Amino acid sequence: MIHPFPPRQLAYEYQYTVFAVYAEYQLHQYDDKDMAELERRMDEHAEFFIERILPKEDGKDADKQQAHKRL
């Protein structure tokens, strides 16, 4: 069960960052730049978002890992 945030707000908060990083990704791929940094930022964004919306359960890291896999 996730925290009771409005679905529209959750979508907005998650997706706008994804759009911005994707646009940056598109621009950099034509410049032959390393994409590892952008990929790392996307992973961190997803993890950050999941940690904010899922309730804490006794600090179990396994729960966080399972949530990240569902995304």
Q: Phi first, then psi: what are they for 33, rounded to 5°?
A: -90, 155
pLDDT in tens, 21-68: 889 888 888 887 888 888 898 999 999 888 888 877 665 555 555 555
Domain ranges of the chain: 7-70
What's the rounded Cα separation, in Å, for the pair 59 and 31?
42
Cα–Cα distances in angstroms (integers) from residue 46 to residues 30, 36, 57, in the given order? 25, 15, 19
Which pTM does this prediction carry?
0.63
> Which 8-state DSSP code applies to residue 32?
T
Question: Which comes out higher in pLDDT, residue 66 or 16?
Answer: 16
> Which 8-state DSSP code applies to residue 60?
-
